[in-house]
Amino acid sequence: MPLFDQLYNFAHWLTHDREEAKDLVQETYAKALRGFSSFAQGTNFRAWMYRILRNTFLTSRSGLKATAQIMALETEDGTEVAITSETPETVFLERANQQLVQDAIADLPVHFREILLLCEVEEMSYLEIAETLVIPQGTVMSRLSRARAALRELLKEKLKGGQR
């Protein structure tokens, strides 16, 4: 099945549950097969499949909880965190503490987690991410910047011993 492993990995990151991720991918393929006639030939199949998976997640029980959390987080404070440059020490800490990084990513709100995963793990272009999430490319870039800054802050807190 095309893209199965990538879709499963993305679903697992979104749901935090292996069984739910399997169900989500299965539902994604079922919806894709039912709606294949709506796929426009010559467009990005990968982005289309990820969009189906994401929409299926957002309408699921855990996705609805995450969406409610996203809306509350987005309306609290509109300020953007400044980006600091990485040093060799921070790169070493990231590599030495892979589980710490994975935990920090898991602690991010869904809208930050999904954009980081699509960009850094799935290596999608900004255009592909925009098509997948149905948002403008500028939003992709600003959300990715905020997601990276939030991840940096979480890692700093965790490294200082302030586990969330």
- Which pLDDT value is given to residue 96? 57
Angle at CA of residue 24, ends 21 and 29, nearest 5°: 130
- Which pLDDT value is given to residue 13? 86
Report whether 3 contacts 44 (CB < 8 A).
no
Nearest to 134 by CA among 50, 41, 16: 50
- Which pLDDT value is given to residue 100? 76
Give the pTM.
0.49
Domain assignment of residue 104, yes or no: yes
DSSP 45: H
Number of domains comprising the chain = 1
- Which pLDDT value is given to residue 3? 84
Domain assignment of residue 93, yes or no: yes
Domain assignment of residue 47, yes or no: yes
Domain assignment of residue 12, yes or no: yes
- Which pLDDT value is given to residue 102? 81
- Which pLDDT value is given to residue 72? 39
- Which pLDDT value is given to residue 101? 79
Domain assignment of residue 164, yes or no: no
> For 49-86, how does the pLDDT look when each residue is reduced to its tens digit (9 = 90+)?
988 898 888 887 555 455 444 443 444 455 443 334 45
- Which pLDDT value is given to residue 92? 53
CA distances from 46 to 27, 76, 113, 140 (A): 16, 33, 19, 17
Could you tell me where the beta strands, DSSP code E, fall in the chain?
none
- Which pLDDT value is given to residue 95? 57
Nearest to 124 by CA among 59, 16, 60, 45: 45
- Which pLDDT value is given to residue 143? 95
Residues of the chain with pLDDT under 70: 1, 61-98, 162-164
Domain assignment of residue 97, yes or no: yes
Domain assignment of residue 70, yes or no: yes
CATH code where residue 152 lies = 1.20.140.160
- Which pLDDT value is given to residue 67? 46
- Expressed as residue numbers, the domain containing 53 is 4-159
Residue 27 CB partners (closer than 8 Å, separation 6+): 56
